Amino acid sequence: MRVLFLGDIVGSIGISAASDFLPLIRKEKRIDFVIANGENATKGKGLSEEDYERISSFADAITLGNHYRSQYEIDRFIASADKLVRPLNLIHYHKGEGSKVFYCKDIPIRVTNLLGAAFMNETVKSPIETMEGLEEEFIEPIHIVDYHAESTSEKQIFAYYFDGAFTAVIGTHTHVATLDARILPNGTAYQSDAGFCGSYESIIGFDVDSTIERIVFEKGKLSVSQEGERVVYGTIIEIDENTFKTISIEPICYLEGKESYHG
Ligand SMILES: [Fe+2]
Ligand SMILES: [Fe+2]
């Protein structure tokens, strides 16, 4: 089984990039199941119901992150959004679910979303404490964790601590794909960050000029870059359908105008 994990989708341009490139990616990479991080899909912050539906048209599971509630309307639809997985370790938010089981070829796939503790604004329960013991309760043969966090070492600590308990631990949030995709000694596939989907000539998906104005001169506000070539970063995890062992992890990057991917 080949699972495609797409990094944070940023804005409408990110949704269209993922949606438009997926037929080619499916054809070239034989994808069976798609997980997409949708926390920045609506104007760069959060996920509206309309954008949830748009991403649902091409993704089987949609994870979130620190922007899980940046669009307040999520309170209204999260309970009925079957594909949506919000961070499991939130302390003050109880709507929706942080870990869900999906099916692909009749094989159960658990998808869990966790929010990191370091350098993040939200106070969360420690991801390790949250998952301690649950790996025995979660009996599905395939379990993929989206670890949404700023700190790469925090993600590595978690992945090594639970190495072998999960099929894959894939990082999100920084929007910058890392070159450390590998299978850890006990079999967990790992990558510190899967990257993002959106405007290529941008600062993590946001307009270059408005980001510099905002951060350097404290003027205006951040806006999603809507121009230029679109890019889709993600990573593909291949899993043996009999033993459920991880066979490989392969980061991908599809850039508009290029015939195929470049790594
Ligand atoms: Fe993000
Ligand atoms: Fe984030």
Which two structure tokens, joined as six digits, stand for 259? Answer: 């015939």
Q: How far apart are CA 254 and CA 78, in angstroms?
A: 30
Tell me what pLDDT residue 136 has: 74
Q: At what angle do helices 49-56 and 11-29 cross, to 10 degrees?
A: 10
* Ligand nearest the Cα atom of residue 44: 1
- Owner of token pair 């649950």: 134
What protein residues have CB closer than 5 angstroms to ion ligand 2? 65-66, 173
Residue 243 CA to ligand 1 center (angstroms) comes to: 33
Is pLDDT at 135 greater than 90 in this prediction?
A: no
List the one residue out of 167, 193, 199, 195 whose CA is nearest residue 181.
193
Residue of higher predicted confidence among 133 and 181: 181
Q: List, for residues 54-102, the tens digit of each pLDDT value.
A: 999 999 999 999 999 999 999 999 999 999 999 999 999 999 999 999 9
- Owner of token pair 């190495």: 163
Tell me what pLDDT residue 134 has: 86
Residue 259 CA to ligand 2 center (angstroms) comes to: 30
Which residues are identified as catalytic? 67
Residues 47, 8: contact at Cβ < 8 Å? no
Tell me what pLDDT residue 227 has: 86
Residue 192 CA to ligand 1 center (angstroms) comes to: 14
Would you kindly state where each structural domain of the chain is located, as residue ranges?
Answer: 2-255
Is pLDDT at 174 greater than 80 in this prediction?
A: yes
Alpha helix segments (H runs only) across the chain: 11-29, 49-56, 74-77, 127-131, 134-137, 152-161, 208-217
- Percent over 70 (pLDDT), the chain: 98
Which two structure tokens, joined as six digits, stand for 36? Answer: 């997409």
Mean pLDDT across 206-233: 94
Residues 14, 225: contact at Cβ < 8 Å? no
* Ligand nearest the Cα atom of residue 41: 1
Q: How confident is the model at residue 261 (pLDDT cuts 50, 70, 90)?
A: low
Residues 192, 178: contact at Cβ < 8 Å? yes
Is pLDDT at 259 greater than 70 in this prediction?
A: no
Is pLDDT at 133 greater than 80 in this prediction?
A: yes
- Owner of token pair 């099916």: 103
Residue 39 CA to ligand 2 center (angstroms) comes to: 7
Q: How far apart are CA 25 and CA 15, in angstroms?
A: 15
* Ligand nearest the Cα atom of residue 115: 2
Q: List, for residues 144-170, the tens digit of each pLDDT value.
A: 999 999 999 999 999 999 999 999 999
Q: How far apart are CA 18 and CA 27, in angstroms?
A: 14
Could you tell me the CA-to-CA distances from 238 to 70, 180, 249, 255 in Å, in that order? 33, 16, 6, 22
Q: Which CATH architecture has domain 2-255?
A: 4-Layer Sandwich (3.60)
Q: List, for residues 18-38, the tens digit of each pLDDT value.
A: 999 999 999 999 999 999 999
Residue 242 CA to ligand 1 center (angstroms) comes to: 34
Tell me what pLDDT residue 173 has: 98
Q: List, for residues 223-248, the tens digit of each pLDDT value.
A: 999 989 999 999 999 999 999 999 99
